Amino acid sequence: MSNEPAGVIELIELVRVEIPLVRPFRTSFGTDTVRDALLVHVVTSAAEGWGECVADRAPLYSSEWVDGAAEVIERFLIPRVVDEPLADVEAVGSRLADVEGHPMAKGALEMALLDAQLRAQSMSLAAYFGAERTRVDCGVSIGIQDDTGALLELVAEYLDAGYRRIKLKIEPDHDVAPVRAVREHFGADVALQVDANAAYTRADGPTLAALDPFGLLLIEQPLAPDDIVGHARLAREIRTPICLDESITSARGAADAIELGACSIVNIKAGRVGGYLEARRVHDVCVARGVPVWCGGMLETGLGRAANVALAALPGFTLPGDTSASRRYFERDLTEPFVLDDGTLTVPLGPGIGVTPLPDALADFTTARRVVHRRSAR
Ligand code: OSB
Ligand code: MG
């Protein structure tokens, strides 16, 4: 890692964009019809950088929400990084460490600073991570459908497009039936997994064991985020491997969950763990313990997608990620669209995250834009 300075931070602005989703996305915690994203735009004396906050409109997936994240970034995070010159983005985490929680807010600011620093150094995020692959295997996450026919049509569409793995969102009473329907229609060879987003309880072992015969790759986050012991017990009641998403909020937490037998696979999302640097550490602890990881998603625009794809190029990401093509989410993305190529996305290799917002798209999707920090003349 070079010691070249990231440059002096000249300006930081918060940009809100609203991009319609091609179809509503329903999970056990709610339904999204638009991606309402908070972007962090940093201008340094050396380069520009973009960060994307993955917080949703309401605190349903986690305790963060997008308006709250914007306020935390402006009032509590930015002052901690602009008061003294920042030698290296590696130091951002320790600057922000006394602020409790708010990983998605922290992750968005860190991403923007990291992008700016790497652009100044003409280094890609993938190279910075130490990524080896140039393409990553892609899966797709399918929202809960009331109608089985509609579900089967969607699965067919995505398999035809080349996706290498299908993930079905489930909840109580929308679990065994859709899994059975997909297996009966598409056969045993489709790589299939489910995501409960914490919709079950410790008493649901028998219900979840009913998924065992379907040969799922994994079940993601069946129980509450804080229920590590519950997941460890459930792992002894079912044969489907347990993968944790919401429960994993740090590299140490990942190591603990693995040690306790709560999961045998980990979903890595940078925003959930406070940024891409911690995400890389989660990857490292999992690799050291022989635990496969895959890259989760939060319906990101092309900005967050670019960074996710770079992360997913690390060697421990041995399962297809929720790193789908732009058109799975949006008719028009904020960046040049990511296009599926033989079930893969190509890792951006330009400086930083390798993409920037297209000016016209940014103008059309922006709902609010405000400079929240400007360097004062000394
Ligand atoms: O639990 O993985 C999840 C989207 C929003 C919030 C939580 C989750 C998801 C997804 C979609 O499953 C992943 C994606 O395609 O971005
Ligand atoms: Mg999940």
pLDDT at 378: 60
pTM of the predicted structure, to 2 decimals: 0.96
Q: Is 169 a catalytic residue?
A: yes
Question: Alpha-carbon torsion 176, 181, 182, 186, what sign?
Answer: positive
DSSP SS3 for 28: coil
- Is residue 177 scored above 80 in pLDDT? yes
* Average pLDDT estimate for 194-210: 98
pLDDT at 85: 74
pLDDT tens digits, residue range 21-46? 999 999 999 999 999 999 999 999 99
Q: What is the mean pLDDT of the chain?
A: 96
Question: Alpha-carbon torsion 56, 332, 146, 298, what sign?
Answer: negative
C-alpha to C-alpha distance for 88 and 117, rounded to whole angstroms: 8
Q: Which atom of ligand 1 is nearest to the CA of 329?
A: 15
The DSSP result for 92-132, as a single string, is HHHHHTTS-S-HHHHHHHHHHHHHHHHHHTT-BHHHHHT--
Q: Counting every residue, how long is the chain? A: 378
Task: Give the long-range contacts of residues 227-233, CB within 8 A, separation 24 or more.
Answer: 227/202, 228/256, 228/257, 228/260, 228/262, 229/260, 229/262, 230/201, 230/202, 231/257, 231/262, 231/263, 232/260, 232/261, 232/262, 233/202, 233/205
C-alpha to C-alpha distance for 156 and 117, rounded to whole angstroms: 42
Question: Alpha-carbon torsion 60, 246, 31, 38, what sign?
Answer: positive
- Is residue 1 scored above 90 in pLDDT? no
| Parallel, antiparallel or unpaired: strands 344-346 and 135-137 | antiparallel
**34 burial class (0-12, 13-18, 19+ CB within 10 angstroms)?**
middle
C-alpha to C-alpha distance for 7 and 87, rounded to whole angstroms: 8
Query: How much distance in Å is there from the Cα of 317 to the middle of ligand 2?
Result: 16
- Is residue 193 scored above 60 in pLDDT? yes
Q: Is 269 a catalytic residue?
A: yes
Query: How much distance in Å is there from the Cα of 122 to the middle of ligand 1?
Result: 31
C-alpha atoms less than 13 angstroms from C-alpha of 128 in its C-beta half-sphere: 31
C-alpha to C-alpha distance for 143 and 125, rounded to whole angstroms: 30
pLDDT tens digits, residue range 235-250? 999 999 999 999 999 9
* Average pLDDT estimate for 276-291: 98
Domains in the chain, ordered, with CATH?
9-122+359-374 (3.30.390.10), 126-346 (3.20.20.120)
Within 10 angstroms of residue 264's Cβ, the number of other Cβ atoms is 17
pLDDT at 2: 41
* Residues in contact with ligand 1 (CB, 6 Å cut-off): 61, 141, 195, 197, 245, 296-299, 322, 324
Residue ID of nearest Cα to ligand 1 atom 13: 297
Q: Which ligand is nearest to the CA of 139?
A: 1
Catalytic residue among 165, 169, 281, 305: 169
Best residue for ligand 1 mutational test, from 141, 268, 273 (most atoms within 8 Å of Cβ) = 141
* Average pLDDT estimate for 173-193: 98
* Average pLDDT estimate for 327-346: 98
Contacts of 247 (CB under 8 A, 6+ apart): 221, 225, 226, 227, 228, 231, 253, 257, 262, 263
> Is residue 83 very low, low, confident or very high in pLDDT (cuts 50, 70, 90)?
confident
Residue ID of nearest Cα to ligand 1 atom 4: 298
Query: How much distance in Å is there from the Cα of 27 to the middle of ligand 1?
Result: 9
Query: How much distance in Å is there from the Cα of 297 to the middle of ligand 1?
Result: 5
- Is residue 153 scored above 70 in pLDDT? yes
DSSP SS3 for 312: helix
The backbone torsions φ and ψ at residue 334, rounded to the nearest 5 degrees and listed phi first, read -80, -25
pLDDT at 3: 43
* Average pLDDT estimate for 84-105: 91
Residue ID of nearest Cα to ligand 1 atom 7: 298
- Is residue 270 scored above 80 in pLDDT? yes
The DSSP result for 158-211, as a single string, is HHHHT-SEEEEE-BTTBSHHHHHHHHHHH-TTS-EEEE-TT---GGGHHHHHTT
- Is residue 51 scored above 70 in pLDDT? yes
- Is residue 376 scored above 80 in pLDDT? yes
Share of the chain above pLDDT 70, in %: 98
pLDDT at 22: 98
Q: Which ligand is nearest to the CA of 220?
A: 2
pLDDT at 5: 55
- Is residue 143 scored above 80 in pLDDT? yes
The DSSP result for 236-256, as a single string, is HH-SSPEEESTT--SHHHHHH
Best residue for ligand 1 mutational test, from 144, 197, 298, 326 (most atoms within 8 Å of Cβ) = 298
